[in-house]
Chain A
């Protein structure tokens, strides 16, 4: 992102410990308006911990987080919805809890955005995983956040549902929302992430575009850099002892 633009979200020297284990070891990170940032890394890298701290649901042991105007939308990995309530009731409940000025108007807006107007009266339990995830994200958008945090949003979705989800998320970024998502799917990160933040064992290993990462690999293991992005990424980690 161009220098000089004010960051929508900024984290400084984040540290988080769970007992003896250090999940985050002094992470610095910033995201700018309209950016789509993918956080990738092996299991236990600290992706969910970082997102949880950015969302404010987990407190760091050290460091701090600031956002442009304080509004950060949080979409947990598994759909955080009441399955016995309808789509509309879920949206209305969270709009009211967000103290939205016009909760019913916000519900209509989200139904339009998620293209689920026809299914508003259905209980969430009857929706497919993809549609549940769309409602899950819509709830994260109810407060009109400048930053939306998504923890592995495409887990459990079939290819068609994934495509629709990323179309929806990309549209949000185009409209100026900063979207930060974690994923295990490296191809997905390359395709949709304008910027990649690579974590391993709580440390930041890389922060830049997918092309920049491939370039870094080319200098270290040229044979891996010429192959698919996932192979290049694995080589990148292996070269750094992960």
Chain B
């Protein structure tokens, strides 16, 4: 059997395109994944025009709120492209130079200030977009909505903070500036204290009235203390408390690496084994091999071995490439090997079943690709993303093919905080037996088809 394995590797070496693809594919995948997960998400380019007059501030009581630094805050979230006027902003959006244009109109602060008057106006910002395709429109909507939500939250917090400061002034006393002149505010705490000290000097007939004033001042002081945090919460009344009912999810970069490794293993192993078995028929060597030199089961084991050996080498090569960008836990290499070997064997057995069913190498390659790609995509559909009936169907389909359990095994092997690897390995063992039996059955009619 080893001579046959050696022969297959020799043939692989003699096919420059195949060999290059087998090496180039994992390197390319490793580079793509590495770049994707080792870099910050790109900021969208947004044309930014601030028409608000310099020095304009949002009013707070008789004063003005501190400058919020709108330009800086917005340009932290997106890559701002300064434009001179609305026409230039529109032109940049139309040409696709920027994703959108955000314009803060000159009356924005006045409208914000009007909110505390009897004639409130709605503050508005102008957004210019080019919704040339649905995906872009969705991206722009999401980005702009998130940006405005952040801006609204920040302004609300500033207002709440100022409100809290004034409330503290009423309770504790202090100084307040009106028209540039400092004004002393006595504060409820001091009022209660002063009245208490004057009480003995007040005639007995008037003490009852004085006690009522002292009681009011004390009550107001104590209860307004409680109000300050309440005002602060008004800016963001609801906070999210997230509770996960599933096992801890792996970090995104670990999941991305596991997906890349599984994709690599899937395509390399499945296509190689299916193609190699079909090649035995194309070269008319199947009958000669199984006519006494080797049993059909032996041939099957050799092909699965070929897939596992090459799949292991290529997947480790890919993981080595990813290591250049992300530090992997090499202490878990034993688990990686277990996941790759079990996944590789299951995928190779599936490849053998396909190879035994198809007529030639081209047909089987196409068939393997047509099956592997949709199953891989279906395996990545999360629960809740589609209807429950459809998801149940997807679960059945993906459980029948080795991609998903291989992905689960790879994720468990790469993620030290994740779920155990035992379940996926057991699942893969069942698939190895099932596909092995299917391939063996298909080989019975292999020579005569």
C-alpha gap A93/B294 in the complex (Å): 13
A82 x B290 contact (CB < 8 A): no
C-alpha gap A55/B448 in the complex (Å): 15
B288 x A139 contact (CB < 8 A): yes
Interface: B292 (CB within 8 A): yes
Interface: A83 (CB within 8 A): yes
C-alpha gap A85/B285 in the complex (Å): 13
Count of interface residues, chain A, beta-carbon cutoff 8 Å: 23
C-alpha gap A78/B286 in the complex (Å): 12
Choose from B14, B285, B290, B294 the contact partner of A81 (Cβ within 8 Å). Answer: B285
C-alpha gap A208/B285 in the complex (Å): 33
Interface: A238 (CB within 8 A): no
Count of interface residues, chain B, beta-carbon cutoff 8 Å: 20
Secondary structure type dominating chain A contacts: loop
Q: Would A97 and B294 be within 8 Å (CB), given that A57-B287, A80-B284 are in contact?
A: yes
Secondary structure type dominating chain B contacts: helix
Contact with B along A33-57 (1 / 0, CB 8 A): 0000000000000000000100111
Interface: B293 (CB within 8 A): yes
Distance to closest chain A CB from B82 (angstroms): 62
Choose from B4, B285, B293 the contact partner of A98 (Cβ within 8 Å). Answer: B293
C-alpha gap A240/B293 in the complex (Å): 41
Interface: A89 (CB within 8 A): yes
Interface: A84 (CB within 8 A): yes
A94 x B14 contact (CB < 8 A): no
C-alpha gap A78/B287 in the complex (Å): 11
Q: Which residue of A lies closest to B11 (CB)?
A: A84
B14 x A74 contact (CB < 8 A): no
A89 x B10 contact (CB < 8 A): yes
A residues contacting B by CB (< 8 A) are: 52, 55-58, 74, 76, 78-85, 89, 93-94, 96-98, 123, 139
B residues contacting A by CB (< 8 A) are: 3-4, 7, 10-11, 14-15, 283-285, 287-294, 447-448
Q: A84-B11, A94-B288 are in contact. List 19 more A-B contacts (CB 8 A).
A: A52-B287, A55-B291, A56-B292, A57-B291, A57-B447, A58-B447, A74-B291, A76-B287, A79-B284, A80-B283, A80-B284, A80-B287, A84-B10, A85-B10, A85-B14, A94-B293, A97-B4, A97-B294, A123-B14
